Amino acid sequence: MTPRPRPRRGFTLIELLVVISIIGVLVGLLLPAINSAREAGRRTQCLNNMRQLALAINAFAARKNVFPAAGTFFEDNTTPATSAATSILYTALGSGTTGISTTATPNPVSNAGYSWVVSILGDLDQQDMANNWTIHQPYWSTTAPDTSTTPNMIIGRAALGVLRCPDDNNYTPNEGNLSYVVNGGFSRYPFSPSPWVGLKADGDANGGTAASASLTFDSPNNVTAPGDLQKSGVMFLNSVYDNIFDSSVASAQNGRSPAWGGAKTTPGAITDGMSATLLIGENTLVGYTTGTAYSGSTETNWSAPFPNFCMFIASDDICEKIGSQQKSTGACNTNFGTTYQNTTDNSQWGQANTVGTYENIDYGQVLTIKGTFPMVTSGHPTGANFAFCDGHVTFLTNTINGTVYSKLVTPAGSRLPTPYKQLPLSQDSFAQ
């Protein structure tokens, strides 16, 4: 009787290769899905951080009936400014260039107080930090008024998870990182607007070469109306007199802002609607750095009040001729034109997010030097997260229409003078 053959065990080479091929195909299909899920998770965490920050800012506004300043500087009283153009805040912008001047008088670095983050520390469940912060000293101070108080710089160097987006890879572990900036409108300083020329690459020589004001939001008769700039943003740079920081400040001035240094927004001033006005955006080029030309070579962290490190602006190219990369030296309404149509938005608003200006959303992803991009830029591949004034958060693509983006940035665009007045915003135009 012929014995039955034993059943074959194992795989042939061909079978093994087929199995390996199938596994390879499955892995190839799964990896993008896994990466997409991880990105979605990071983006969700980023949105949660922004929601907490928006709620904290709104808690501040509920107590004070005003949104906090984006950044606060101590106004110089020894050599008092006679106009906005000679103030600490204007000097903080390098008198129209991108960097922070350290040789000008007054010196903005010496008088740099604190950012909006410091104002809401208590609302972020960081009451101990809030209690220890010395409000009368610069953020970079390494000394304290007494031995029981922690110096400001030590506090600002503390890493707070709510201030960093997981997709922000331009950070330093265990330092005072920041991924989020507040809505400053279209100008880094509302009372003496200075131009921004987008940098094509790190160290681009064209950046900030123009020294003339480019965004004035003049009224139709060409009379400068700085108050209109407050209708283009929510949180601005402020300056205050402080007689502890500067003993020459008279008691009557103490705690007060000069006429050009107190731009603030009340919740009631957001007439376009809290749910349709941006409050917070992303920027991977702010936060901790040992110092760059854009911070006066001074170390920065989440407490630094320099405009390129605490707030975002939409491109001020809305006031230049389409296609030109240099700022106009004329009035803003020269480029807007004198003809106003109450049925269409002025086409210049579209320049707020136009490829080729080097100031569009996420163009900063090609830059690495911190402080070089005061617009919104993120670590997400196709757009950025935003928080609105009512506290809700959403993701907006970096291809959003510039006119729609302008309307989201401006809290009172419907009340701007002609020819800047904006028509109502369709929420379908930015809903995700």
Q: Is 114 within 8 Å of 72 (Cβ atoms)?
A: yes
Instruction: Tell me: pLDDT of 338 over 80.
Output: no
Length reported for the chain: 432
Q: What is the pLDDT of residues 242-254, one digit of tens each?
A: 999 988 888 888 9
How far apart CA 27 and CA 260 sit, in angstroms, is 61
pLDDT(311) > 60: yes
Residue 371 near residue 309, CB atoms below 8 Å: yes
Per-residue pLDDT band for 2 (boundaries 50, 70, 90) equals low
Report d(CA 404, CA 125) in Å as an integer. Answer: 35
Residues forming beta bridges with residue 112, ordered by sequence position: 73
Q: Which of the two residues, 118 and 221, has the higher pLDDT score?
A: 118
| Higher-confidence position of 147 and 65 | 65
**Cα–Cα distances in angstroms (integers) from residue 428 to residues 271, 308, 350, 432, in the given order:** 19, 31, 17, 8
Q: How confident is the model at residue 47 (pLDDT cuts 50, 70, 90)?
A: very high
Assess contact for 177 and 302: CB atoms under 8 A: yes
| Amino acid in position 406 | S
Instruction: Give 79 or 159, the one with higher predicted confidence.
Output: 159
What mean pLDDT is predicted for residues 419-423? 87
pLDDT reported for residue 124: 96
Q: What is the mean pLDDT of residues 189-212?
A: 70
d(CA 156, CA 150) in angstroms, rounded, equals: 10
With pLDDT > 90 as the criterion, what percentage of the chain qualifies? 53
Pairwise pLDDT comparison (209 vs 143), residue with the higher score: 143
Residue burial 35-68, b: 16+ Cβ < 10 Å; e: rest = eeeeeeebbeebbebbbbbbebbbebbeeeeebb
Q: Using a pLDDT cut of 70, give the percent of the chain over it.
A: 84
| Domain presence at residue 83 | yes
Answer whether residue 53 shows pLDDT above 90.
yes
> Which pLDDT value is given to residue 223?
40
User: In this structure, is residue 238 part of a structural domain?
Assistant: yes
pLDDT band of residue 224 (cuts 50, 70, 90) is very low
- The predicted pLDDT at position 172 comes to 95
The pLDDT-based confidence of 219 (bands split at 50, 70, 90) is low
Q: How many domains does the chain have?
A: 1
How far apart CA 97 and CA 132 sit, in angstroms, is 35
The yes-or-no verdict on residue 188 having pLDDT over 90 is: no
**How many other CB atoms are there within 10 angstroms of residue 270's CB atom?**
21
pLDDT at 116 over 90: yes
What pLDDT, in 10s, does the model give residues 140-156?
999 988 888 999 999 99
In a domain, 147, yes or no: yes
* 417 pLDDT tier (thresholds 50, 70, 90): confident
Identify the pLDDT of residue 4.
62
Structure tokens at 347: 């086409």
Q: Is residue 157 part of a domain?
A: yes
Q: Pick the residue with more confidence: 336 or 232?
A: 232
pLDDT band at 405 (very low <50, low <70, confident <90, very high): very high
The per-residue pLDDT for range 248-294, each reduced to its tens digit, is 888 888 999 988 889 999 999 999 999 999 999 999 999 999 999 89
3-state secondary structure 252-321: CCCCCCCCCCCCCCCHHHCCCCHHHCEEEEEECCCCCECCCHHHCCCCECCCCCCHHHHEECCCHHHHCC
Classify residue 409: in a domain, yes or no. Answer: yes
What pLDDT is stored for residue 209 in this prediction? Answer: 44
Taking only the tens place, the pLDDT of each residue in 341-393 is: 788 888 889 989 998 888 999 999 999 999 999 999 999 989 999 999 999 99
Residue 94 has pLDDT above 80, yes or no: no
Q: How many CB atoms lie within 10 A of CB 390?
A: 15
Q: Which two tokens stand for residue 38?
A: 């991880």
Cα–Cα distance, 362 to 59 (Å, whole number): 30
Q: Is 339 a member of any domain?
A: yes
- Cα-trace Rg, the chain: 25
- pLDDT reported for residue 46: 95
| The residue to which tokens 């009372």 are assigned | 191
HEC-encoded secondary structure of 1-25: CCCCCCCCCCCCHHHHHHHHHHHHH
In-domain check, residue 15: no
Q: What is the mean pLDDT of residues 164-176?
A: 95
What is the chain's mean pLDDT, rounded? 86
Over residues 391-400, the mean pLDDT reads: 95
In this structure, what DSSP letter does residue 346 have?
Answer: -
Residue 214 lies inside a defined structural domain of this protein: yes
Longest dimension (CA), the chain: 119
pLDDT for 207 equals 54
Domain span at 225:
40-429
